[in-house]
Structure 1
Amino acid sequence: MKKTLTATAIALALTATGFAAPAMAAGKITVSSPQDPGSWDPIDTFLINWASLATNVFEGLTYRGPDMELVPALATSWETLDDGTRIRFTLREGVTFHNGEPFNADAVKFSFDRLLGEEGAKGPQQANYTSIEKVEVIDDTTVDFHLAQADPVLLTKLAGYGAMIVPPQYIAEVGDAEFNNNPVGTGPFKMTSYSPKVGASLVANEDYWGGAPNLSEVDYRFISEPSTALAELQSGGVDVVIPPSVPVGMIPTIEADDNLEVISTGGPTVTALRFDTSRGITADENVRKALIMAVDRGAIVDTILAGQASVIASFQGDRSFGYDASMEPLPYDLEKAKAMLKEAGVEQGASVEINTRGNDATFNEVAQAVAAYLGMAGVNATIKPYETNVLLNDIIPQGKTGEMFQQSWGGWTFDYDNTAYAMYHTGQKWNPYDSDADLDALLEKQRPMTDRAEREKVLQEIAAYAADRALEMPLYNMNAIYAINKRVQNFEPAPDNRLRLDKVSVE
């Protein structure tokens, strides 16, 4: 298989996806983001709130925009060789990092040696790229990726997160700790300041290879409380509020303001209450199924979420590769749930703890509803919220949750492997409790498969297996909901929150 793009095709692709822009930048916008990622190093993070900013600072060899099409970025073309175990990339010439350092094949090799080495092992991204055996420099504008096995999702992975290309000389000079706080990339905006838990400022990269952005400045403010973010939007303190900081209940208020609008698009984010399968009443598979059947997920979507979501049967949405449209969620059946709990020996008044992200106002309403439904089944559910970073970086990975815990997952590749491997494979950060050799084997089986149809069957088998074991209570696939000031023009909502702002302008 070979993919080669002509100069004309590349120019058209770049224009269509927002890389081309007018020569001079003007205007400023302020974006409210609900979380400070804590580090701007691409190999340190999995957070969509990192990507909503850093997609403007860093670039990969490929790029996938809101239209979901994969196009060239720092690579102009690529070809797959040796039965899929070698990919040759031709690199874009004349590109420089924000510090003036040249982008070239050495920078690509450095970035992946770092990702796959000791430094990358400290973060959560390395596991996504283990199919890469080594990166070989052919010449200044050509690199070969040698793969241990074919990876059908690799080209998409190269468009985000850990695969971003970083500057070797700068990192050697300043060290990893400094790079975390003062990142340098090749993107359309440069970061000029970062105040932890407060915000970050970007300015236009006037020398950007795709043309200078329309905007001269972008400020990001880290506002964890959705009510505060929306108050700032109403007062003009921010221009854009990104998901998940737009509670569904606030949509009518936003739409009633002549200066504001809501933009919603189908996204990858799925939400579930995952179970501690190692102890307590949720160690019993039949109890887990009973708890799922005790909750009317359809009513939650229709009422609390105002139809801005869809009920899911597995931990993925209908745009995910691996989605099985014939798979049905466990039905809401309160009486059967009660009977199953009784048969399993669960006493009336048994308790479970539900852990949530404290700043997720919408989900905390959902959690209250879930607790009420469980109460009708005779199970006393208490809700314990955590600050998001604490829940994600300490409580879940260290196996310190209650019986049920919130897991919202972006699955930004729109490929079920990106979710399933992280959630279900033994030893993964997001799987602190469960180990299933049969499930591990299925997860490993599909990763090198190049036959798309056969791989899809295995992914569907994984979804059915996880559902049969009731490893989580699948809740819903949420739309990505943005709220913006109407002075913001040419804003294109990203389904995966990975905003590109270089085509945005202001009135």
Structure 2
Amino acid sequence: MLIRTTAILALTASAALAQQTDITIGMQLEPPNLDPTGGAAAAIDEVVYANVFEGLTRFGPDGSILPALASDWEVSEDGLTWTFTLREGVTFHDGTAMDAEDVVFTLDRARAEDSTNAQKALFDGIESVEAVDATTVRITLSAPNGNLPFNLAWGDAVIVAPESVGANATAPVGTGPFEFADWVQGDRVELVAYDGYWGEAPALERATFKFISDPNAAFAAMMAGDVDAFPNFPAPETLANFEADPRFAVIVGSTEGETILAMNNAELSPELRRAITHAIDREAIIDGAMFGFGTPIGTHFAPHNPDYVDLTGESAFDPDMAREALAASDYDGRPLRLMLPPPAYARRGGEIVASQLRDIGVETEIQNLEWAQWLEQVFRGKDFDLTIVSHTEPADINIYARPDYYFQYDDAEFQAMMEELSAAADPATRSTILKRAQEKIAADDVNAYLFQLAKTGVANAAIEGLWENSPTQANDLTGVRWTQ
């Protein structure tokens, strides 16, 4: 009996010692910086959201809004005053305390006139932010906005400290369960568990985000075990290989990523945009670029959202209608610059789009850009004709109310809809407005709407806790662990 008990204890101890506590996550794109409050690239949040930085609220894996640095909140009867109660004992990774003054600093910075926040519109309705005491923050709005907890869950609204904010682009300091350790640019970012974390300690002690841009190299890295998981795997054509291998789990879900052929509305006439939208065969792009993974869309809204309207018929593939619209346009035969960022959906999809446009008489000049170039020239500089990009921000149809946004759609009727939406609290009213908004941008052919990006992930079969769906652009490691 003693021998048997000793053997069991030895086996238990051996299993405990063998439990892996580090993980290597593959990513196709390297973030241009690591400050989610000062950059637009989804890759930033994919590294730091919920891992390094936290907001007052956060997105759960099912898209629900959960408490984060705020343990709870309440709103006044008129909907104008929100009071957030902060958790006690929270510290930044440099050891400084996180309190209400940091929240005031963060939100005032994000909504300031000179703010570089990529989603500054999230904070437009905030009239004032004040620290009632160290653990209480009062936010006063200019108009009721029931979406405030949702807005504050975005990566653009994470809480930062005035003492460290200046270095967050390269050496981020947050309040999350992991702290920044190293960034070898062009290769990887390393995080380690933060001993002073206010919440439940993560099962992982170290996480490495490895940047592998080439799909073939990503496949080889997974097969060789150099990468433990690739939550957004860039080579969907190889998923069958992983499905047939018991070492791996294939995780297919949905994202908030509306993948669009974005058009510069300041340069392309409505008739030319209409010609382009009807020249696009969505199914051919989904099959050819995504190997069947993706859901056709006809407007800038996720099909899994209960307020989604299927408007694919409004811009159905119709080459004859496209040629008719082209003949009525001001198109002079010049090649349109099709600027493509690195993701496979853009590069592969761009070749198919160029062919489809050529079939109706529109020539394109493909320019492949690195992510930093795309952000500088297309997103910020608005120097493009066409581009393909997936908008992974949640429920972001309100970007069409921003005339200075990169595709430069300026429509007073749509802007009024978004103002009406912000002021509406009744779910039925909001639903009606959202449906009208979807119909408006589809009818105006603002962009050519291609497909909702699928989340195709691959992981070691012994890993659990990775998100199946992507309600926001994140690789949340707080619940990830090895099972053996």
State the TM-score, normalizing by the size of structure 2: 0.89
Q: Distance in 1 between matches of 2:468 and 2:157?
A: 23
* Cα offset, 1:89, TM superposition: 1.0
Q: Distance in 2 between matches of 1:305 and 1:42?
A: 28
Q: What do residues 348-406 of structure 1 show as CA deviations (whole Å, max 9, x unaligned)?
A: x663332111x2223322222222222222222332211122112323321211x3211
Match of residue 131, structure 2, among 133, 137, 153: 137
State the 4+ residue runs in structure 1 displaced beyond 6 angstroms.
none
Q: Distance in 1 between matches of 2:128 and 2:386?
A: 40
Give the structure 2 partner of residue 354 of structure 1: 338
Give the structure 2 partner of residue 340 of structure 1: 325
Work out the percentage of aligned pairs sharing the same amino acid. Answer: 28
Give the structure 2 partner of residue 157 of structure 1: 151
Q: Distance in 1 between matches of 2:477 and 2:419?
A: 37
C-alpha distance 228-368 of structure 1, shift in aligned 2 (>3 A): same
Q: How does 1:42-441 map to 2 (within 5 A)?
A: 42-55=36-49, 56-117=51-112, 121-168=115-162, 170-171=163-164, 176=166, 178-243=167-232, 245-279=233-267, 282-283=268-269, 285-320=270-305, 322-325=307-310, 328-344=313-329, 351-357=335-341, 359-401=342-384, 403-412=385-394, 415=395, 418=396, 420-428=397-405, 430-431=406-407, 433-441=408-416
Q: Distance in 2 between matches of 1:116 and 1:163?
A: 10
How many residues of Structure 1 are paired with residues of Structure 2 in the alignment?
A: 464
Residue type of the alignment partner of 2:192: V
Q: What do residues 406-451 of structure 1 show as CA deviations (whole Å, max 9, x unaligned)?
A: 1310122xx2xx2x332452123x23x4422333332333222222
Q: What do residues 309-339 of structure 1 show as CA deviations (whole Å, max 9, x unaligned)?
A: 1111101211346522467342212223223
Residue type of the alignment partner of 1:352: L
Residue type of the alignment partner of 1:295: I
Instruction: Name the SS for the 1:274 alignment partner.
Output: strand
Q: What do residues 266-307 of structure 1 show as CA deviations (whole Å, max 9, x unaligned)?
A: 11101111122333xx32x22322222122212332454333
* Cα offset, 1:26, TM superposition: 5.4
Instruction: Name the SS for the 2:423 alignment partner.
Output: coil
* Cα offset, 1:179, TM superposition: 2.9
Q: Indicate conservation of the 8 Å contact 1:248/1:304, yes or no.
A: no
Q: Distance in 1 between matches of 2:324 and 2:221?
A: 49
Q: Distance in 2 between matches of 1:278 and 1:491?
A: 41
Give the structure 2 partner of residue 16 of structure 1: none
Match of residue 472, structure 1, among 429, 447, 452: 447
Q: What do residues 223-250 of structure 1 show as CA deviations (whole Å, max 9, x unaligned)?
A: 222322222122211112232x422222
Q: What do residues 55-107 of structure 1 show as CA deviations (whole Å, max 9, x unaligned)?
A: 20111111221112222111111111141111011111122222222222222
Q: Distance in 2 between matches of 1:492 and 1:439?
A: 34
Q: Distance in 1 between matches of 2:311 and 2:319?
A: 24
Q: Indicate conservation of the 8 Å contact 1:350/1:378, yes or no.
A: no
Q: Indicate conservation of the 8 Å contact 1:57/1:190, yes or no.
A: yes
Instruction: Name the SS for the 2:255 alignment partner.
Output: coil
Instruction: Name the SS for the 2:467 alignment partner.
Output: coil
Q: Distance in 1 between matches of 2:409 and 2:124?
A: 22
State the TM-score, normalizing by the size of structure 1: 0.85
* Cα offset, 1:473, TM superposition: 0.7
User: Alignment RMSD, CA only?
Assistant: 2.4
* Cα offset, 1:29, TM superposition: 0.6
C-alpha distance 341-122 of structure 1, shift in aligned 2 (>3 A): closer
